[in-house]
Structure 1
Amino acid sequence: MTKTRKGGKTMKRLLVMLLSISMISGLFTFGLGNASADEVDTTADVGTTYYISSLNGDNNADGTSPDTAWESVMKINDITLQPGDKVLLERGSVFNYQYLHIKGSGSAENPIIIGTYGDEAAAKPVIDAKGQGIWYQDYGITLDNAQHVNKGYVSSTILLYDVEYIEISGLEIVNNVSFENEDYSLREKMNRTGVAVVAQNAGTIDHIVLDDLYIHDVKGNVYDKHMNNGGIYFTAFMPENEAETGIAKYDDVIIKNCTVENVSRWGIALAYTAYHAQFNAAEIPDDICQKYGATNVIIRNNYIKDVGGDSITTMYCFRPVVEYNVSDGAAKEINEEIYNATSFGRVAAAVWPWKCKDAVFQYNEVFDTHYNGDGQAWDADWGDGAIYQYNYSHNNEGGCVMICGVQAVNTIFRYNISYKDLIGALDLPGNPRADFYNNVFYMAEGVPFIRERSSGGVAVLTNNIIYNAGETKTEDWSNNCTVTYDHNLYYNYNEIPADDENAVTGDPMFVNAESAPTSTTGVVHDRTAFDGFKLQDGSPAINAGVYVSGSTGYDFFGNKVGLVPDIGVYESSVEDTMVEGVFSNVYEVTDTWINGIAKGTTVETLLSNLIYDERTTVKVYNEDGTEVTEGVLTDTMVLKATYNDSVKEYKLGIEKVYTEYSPEGMTATVGSYQPNNTTEGGGNLALDNNLSTMWHTNWNGCAEDERWIAIDMGTNQDVAMLKYVPRSAGGTNGIITEYEIYVSDTGEDGSWTKVETRSNTWAGDSTVKYAEFDTVNTRFVKLVATESLSQNAGLIFASAAEIRLGYEVE
């Protein structure tokens, strides 16, 4: 089997994400790319305009002018609307015990508009279903957890079921309790929605815009997470005939300028899908997410206040953008007093993704989320590639951010401010590697940095300011997690993490951090409200950071970040100190290698994708020392970065094609293993073509020098690659993060020779990894773990689901 090893995958992916964010939003000026309801240029002779007024309407009139308006919005439910139609409600009207369940779709050129008319000073027209507008929801399939309710009756004030090209704006939407003696905490309580949107039998539902809606007092079922239940909830059901109608999903959804207040369970959710089984892998392929998930989703400039559960959640979306939203007082009903019929699902956070690919959360603010099993401002839950950047959080009782579990992969948390969040800034329950850089964690008195319940998570913290605002504190910097610290600033702690060899200690000299916002008006603060987190001249954080590949290039305030970044969220105007060497957002650059260079890359392309100080000269040279200025790169060439008399040399890691050897006939010996276990045991389990079994060192722990596995191929063969498949379930114990490769012709003690690999580190997650080296003819190959993950304090492990060897194909 021939496979191409795609080097530099992470760096390339980050560049794509940065470009995606830039194309969607720009860095600080954002355009919708879609007109709002008030901006659509509809042709006068296309569609009919219907007027509805509770003030002076008459259901016996024709409803086509303000003077002949209908009295009830229910009249619209009897009509199949056509492209270009408008439904306008008079401001100041109130429609009790009524609902709007739309039939008919608009078109790309002529969407259906649902809006308002009349006195601009009058209040928004109110539609309060009061528990009416009942329809039956059925996903047609069991949900990802069988305990989740998947069918039942729902009351929705506005329902868009298999309709598209709809734009709704300017309405007040209510769905309050109306049934006498209804027990609010009843498990079987009716689900209710302000706006419910459903895709089932019409394939892709295009262009739904919800703008300037005031949705409140929608008192649904606090338990049912995935029914159309809350303020705004999008769902996709299994089609009755998928071959005929296509996959049920969404494209082009915009929710903006809305206020959602006092609703249950969700504030805004978009969009749980019957196709959830397509998203079972930790890393979500782009094509799968685009095929079965929602695409082109924007949730912008909304205020979510006092919701029973979670404020905003994107579900099964491809690159959704969630920005400029405010959450205030989320999860107010996730407690034993109200949520008392069951403990299942009694957790909620404010703003988070579920099974999304490359979700971006930026310029949002979260205040005062209530404590529960979770209770954080941000939660990078199961999904792939979530980015949180330029956000602000304060006084959230469950902490700042959680990286939730084994399938929360490739998470980045950067340029955010956490101001006196409670119980623990970070919550790391068993997650693969997450990267935190250039954040400010301003810790309240007595609050631990890592939430005490955390266990088994993996995190890398770089360029962060961790500021203890209380009495000088002794800190547990790991809390049973694997946390790597580098170039962080620590203030007011008795000790710092032992592994942070580039730590800065002392007062960062904020301008006035205590001036940070502690409340909200529902609109995100101007950036100047956070000027207190800027650095005064002379701060030890200035030019004390390290360059992080894949960074946005801009700080919290929009300042361009140099090659020697300041620690924290602010980049001062102080000129960078000189930094030798090169960096890249495309390639993986180590001290001696530039990896991930595609075969066929030219000298010009390589140089254009490198970042370096303008005082540095960068050139490519042949093996004989002659300069190369054009043409295709080869792996015998080197790149030299020269500054004055200093020269830094890099080998070129050009992607190669390998063929894997079959493991049949191979055997393995190990330094340690768990005996008497058929699923986690000896080295043979890394050669058995079964990802459900693994080589695992002794469960009681092992010595550092026992973390090795040696493969005997039975005969000498050319080898240039070792493939390492980490465990994918049951935690992270033993996942190898740093390694060495040795070879031998005999396998005897004293016969092993270390080979030079392009890299010696792997990410602490479940993705497949490779060790690449120059071809060597040998019989035995040994993988030695020099660092590995452990969820058990004080114990050392190593593990491998599968290991393969391979040779280079010319």
Structure 2
Amino acid sequence: MRFLSHAPSPARAGLGVLLAAALAGGAILAAPLTASAAAATYYVDCSHGTNGDGVSAATAWNSLAAVNAHGAFAPGERILLKRGTTCKGQLAPTGSGTQGAPIVIGAFPASGTRPTIAGGGTYNYTGAVQIINQAWWTVQDLHITNTTKEANPKTYRSGLLLLNSNGGRLSGLTVQRVAVDGVRSNPGNGNTRQYGGISALTFGKGSSYDGLRILSSSVTNSSRTGIIVSNNAYPGSWDSAVLISGNRVKSVRGDGIVLIGAKSSRITGNVVTGAGDLGSCSHCGRLGGPSTASAGIWPSNTSKVRIDHNEVSKTRNTGGDGEGFDIDRASVDTVLEYNYAHDNQGGGVLLTGAKNSTIRFNILENNGQGALTFYGKAPSTNTAFYNNTVYVSRASKAKIVRTFGAIKGSKVSFKNNVIYSYGTGVYQWPTKSVTTSSNTLIGNHGSGRPRDAKTSYAAPGLKKPGTGGNGFKTLKGYKPAHPSSFKKGVAIPKSVKTDFFGKRISAKKPPRGAAG
């Protein structure tokens, strides 16, 4: 359940104020980056006693202020911070690169502990590292913090902030191998989820990030959000071809990974643990109101987003929701596939005002309240839930399908699923327009359960279901012991070629559940 009002935006605060504050202060990997022969490399070593000209490691700049004062950097240039050192303050360089010659912020030498940028609590609407209205930058191999001694901060801040404020279409932004922790941002009584670990925010119609990539990075122990990419001008403009891949988010106050106002984008291969975790955030305080609800991974106001091969666990529902995945308001044509959600307090998957959602070949184990949940006050339409494997233990009171807020929605298709239900076994549908076929139900079969002629109550012979732990490697128990005798389901789209484990399957005669 989401409310998409926002904290006061940088655009409303005034870009001039923001710029003044800024200047005051597994996976899919990008190809290795090298500077062109003509492009300069600048060195930063904050352990140096004196400030140099930055053109060599021996004469390095010794402060972030020196970098910021340099003026616009040119395409292909590099800014390298010495590994094992800490620079205090804010890094806010200027200039733009070009395609084939991005400007790189990174580390030297080639190996060792990441250099730390300690923001120390930057100004409102800023980050410890930030790139504002700039194209073709790569930020990599940094450790970023942005913490203060405030008991309950009122300031909105991030670790790394990419900001497009009426900057038009900006391309070529890459973040990779960056570790962010200890960000203290306003956890607020409003929607503050735009700030936290890594934020890429767009304000202004006609402005967007195209091809933004956030790769192989981590966010821990921060408030409020782990990673967020949000275009506030949607549907007037939108981000496109966003890739959020191979990241780890752990113990953040609110949402794990959020994508708002994007088209034709992908969230893949990420691990989110402990989203909505109040316990990890001693400075955050108690929150109230529906806008504090959190989920592990979720899109909103999006079109054609693929969410695949992610693991989400232990999402808390203290502020509301608490599902592993949420396909949120005005998200159209979302595909949620090959994911693993387990031990999330709110549930496995939530749908809120979504249209044309496909949820397939996922494993959902021991998620509280409901494996599949609909929020009826924001009804969803045309939801296809097929070839999933659901496991609910005897200790759980979770429904298989849950609807709350109102019994309202339309067109639900529920096919080829394998359901191990040792709890209540209840199916609370949001609509009467439900089509079921070829599901296998094991254990308790409560009210609303599928009753079509192809429903099976015979155990499918999985090796050891319900024994998943942390990581995809723990899921071998969900493989069939004898695949050749595994009961088949009804036909699925021809575009589906493999099961959860990557095994080739026949779309005409697919297995039941996530693996066959």
**Coarse TM-score class (shorter-chain normalised):** 0.7 to 0.9
How many Å separate the matches in 1 of 2:166 and 2:382?
A: 40
What is the RMSD of the two structures over their aligned residues, measured on CA atoms? 2.4
Change over 3 Å in CA distance of 1:550–1:356 after alignment to 2 = farther
- Of the candidates 399, 416, 421, which is equivalent to residue 468 of structure 1? 421
Change over 3 Å in CA distance of 1:339–1:387 after alignment to 2 = farther
Q: Deviations over 1:738-772 (max 9, x none)?
A: xxxxxxxxxxxxxxxxxxxxxxxxxxxxxxxxxxx
How many Å separate the matches in 2 of 1:74 and 1:484?
A: 62
How far is the alpha carbon of 1:453 from its aligned partner? 2.6
User: 2:23: which partner in 1?
Assistant: none
1:215 matched to 2:180? The reply is yes
Change over 3 Å in CA distance of 1:500–1:551 after alignment to 2 = farther
User: 1:190: which partner in 2?
Assistant: 155
User: 1:387: which partner in 2?
Assistant: 335
- Of the candidates 115, 118, 125, which is equivalent to residue 115 of structure 2? 125
Q: Deviations over 1:443-474 (max 9, x none)?
A: 1223221236363234211000010245xx4x
Which structure has the bigger radius of gyration? 1
* One-letter code aligned to 1:101: A
User: 2:402: which partner in 1?
Assistant: 451
How far is the alpha carbon of 1:222 from its aligned partner? 1.4
Change over 3 Å in CA distance of 1:206–1:277 after alignment to 2 = closer
User: 2:146: which partner in 1?
Assistant: 175
1:423 matched to 2:369? The reply is yes
Structure 1's unaligned 5+ residue stretches are: 1-28, 135-152, 240-246, 279-291, 572-810
How far is the alpha carbon of 1:263 from its aligned partner? 1.3
1:309 matched to 2:241? The reply is no
Change over 3 Å in CA distance of 1:196–1:434 after alignment to 2 = same
How many Å separate the matches in 2 of 1:205 and 1:237?
A: 12
How far is the alpha carbon of 1:129 from its aligned partner? 0.8
User: 1:268: which partner in 2?
Assistant: 227
How many Å separate the matches in 2 of 1:294 and 1:322?
A: 14
- What's the TM-score, normalizing by structure 1? 0.56
User: 1:51: which partner in 2?
Assistant: 43
How many Å separate the matches in 2 of 1:533 and 1:450?
A: 21
How many Å separate the matches in 1 of 2:35 and 2:366?
A: 50
1:478 matched to 2:428? The reply is yes
Change over 3 Å in CA distance of 1:380–1:89 after alignment to 2 = same
How far is the alpha carbon of 1:95 from its aligned partner? 1.5
8 A contact 1:225–1:265 mirrored in 2: no
Q: Deviations over 1:176-212 (max 9, x none)?
A: 124xxx341x6xx001101111112431111111010
* Segment of structure 1 superposing worse, 312-321 or 216-225: 216-225
Change over 3 Å in CA distance of 1:84–1:323 after alignment to 2 = same
8 A contact 1:304–1:311 mirrored in 2: yes
User: 2:502: which partner in 1?
Assistant: 558
Q: Deviations over 1:275-323 (max 9, x none)?
A: 2353xxxxxxxxxxxxx21112111100000111111111111111110
How many Å separate the matches in 2 of 1:497 and 1:341?
A: 37
How many Å separate the matches in 2 of 1:346 and 1:200?
A: 25
How many Å separate the matches in 2 of 1:550 and 1:64?
A: 57
8 A contact 2:28–2:245 mirrored in 1: no
* One-letter code aligned to 2:127: S
The count of aligned residue pairs is: 476
Aligned ranges 1:573-592 → 2 under 5 Å: none
How many Å separate the matches in 2 of 1:514 and 1:230?
A: 34
Change over 3 Å in CA distance of 1:228–1:466 after alignment to 2 = closer
User: 2:59: which partner in 1?
Assistant: 68
SS at match of 2:336: strand
8 A contact 2:28–2:246 mirrored in 1: no
8 A contact 1:353–1:381 mirrored in 2: yes
How many Å separate the matches in 2 of 1:513 and 1:293?
A: 41
User: 1:534: which partner in 2?
Assistant: 479
8 A contact 1:543–1:564 mirrored in 2: no
Change over 3 Å in CA distance of 1:498–1:266 after alignment to 2 = closer
How far is the alpha carbon of 1:119 from its aligned partner? 7.0
Q: Deviations over 1:667-717 (max 9, x none)?
A: xxxxxxxxxxxxxxxxxxxxxxxxxxxxxxxxxxxxxxxxxxxxxxxxxxx
How many Å separate the matches in 2 of 1:128 and 1:54?
A: 12
Percent pairwise identity: 27
SS at match of 2:427: coil
Aligned ranges 1:278-677 → 2 under 5 Å: 278=236, 292-333=237-278, 340=286, 342-372=288-318, 373-382=320-329, 383-405=331-353, 408-429=354-375, 430-445=379-394, 446-451=397-402, 453=404, 455-458=407-410, 459-469=412-422, 473=424, 475-479=425-429, 481-482=431-432, 483-494=434-445, 497=449, 499-517=451-469, 519=470, 525-526=472-473, 529-537=474-482, 542-562=486-506, 563-571=508-516
Change over 3 Å in CA distance of 1:537–1:119 after alignment to 2 = closer
* One-letter code aligned to 1:272: N
SS at match of 2:181: strand
SS at match of 1:504: coil
* One-letter code aligned to 1:394: H
How many Å separate the matches in 1 of 2:115 and 2:273?
A: 25
Change over 3 Å in CA distance of 1:442–1:338 after alignment to 2 = same
Change over 3 Å in CA distance of 1:391–1:64 after alignment to 2 = same
* Segment of structure 1 superposing worse, 409-418 or 547-556: 547-556
- What's the TM-score, normalizing by structure 2? 0.87
SS at match of 2:476: helix
How many Å separate the matches in 1 of 2:49 and 2:390?
A: 57
How many Å separate the matches in 2 of 1:118 and 1:219?
A: 30
8 A contact 1:466–1:490 mirrored in 2: yes
How far is the alpha carbon of 1:544 from its aligned partner? 2.6
Q: Deviations over 1:94-131 (max 9, x none)?
A: 113x110121111112110110003723x211111111
How far is the alpha carbon of 1:343 from its aligned partner? 1.2
1:202 matched to 2:194? The reply is no
Change over 3 Å in CA distance of 1:63–1:480 after alignment to 2 = closer
